Amino acid sequence: MSMFINEKEALVEYSLKLFRDKLIIGTWGNLSLRVNDGNRDLFLVTPSGMDYEKTQLEDIVVVDEAGNVVEGNRKPTSELQMHLEIYNSRKEINAVFHTHSTCATACAVAGVEIPMVVEDMVQQIGGEVRLAKYALPGTEELAENVKEALKGRHGVLLKNHGAVGIGKNAAEAYKSCALIEKSAQIFIYAKILGNVDLVDKEDAEKMVHYYNNSYGQR
Q: Give the catalytic positions in this structure.
A: 79
Instruction: Report strand pairing: 95-99 vs 69-71.
Output: unpaired
Report the candidate in 13, 73, 72 with the shortest Cα–Cα distance to residue 44: 72
Instruction: Report strand pairing: 162-167 vs 95-99.
Output: antiparallel
Are residues 128 and 201 in contact, defined by beta-carbon separation less than 8 angstroms? no
Which helix (H) or strand (E) segment is 122 a member of? helix 119-125
How far is it, in rounded angstroms, from Cα 26 to Cα 182?
20
The radius of gyration of the chain from alpha carbons, rounded to an integer in Å, stands at 17
User: For residue 36, how far is the Cα from the chain centroid?
Assistant: 20
C-alpha distances out from residue 69 to 49, 58, 163, 183, Å? 17, 13, 25, 36
How far is it, in rounded angstroms, from Cα 76 to Cα 46?
6
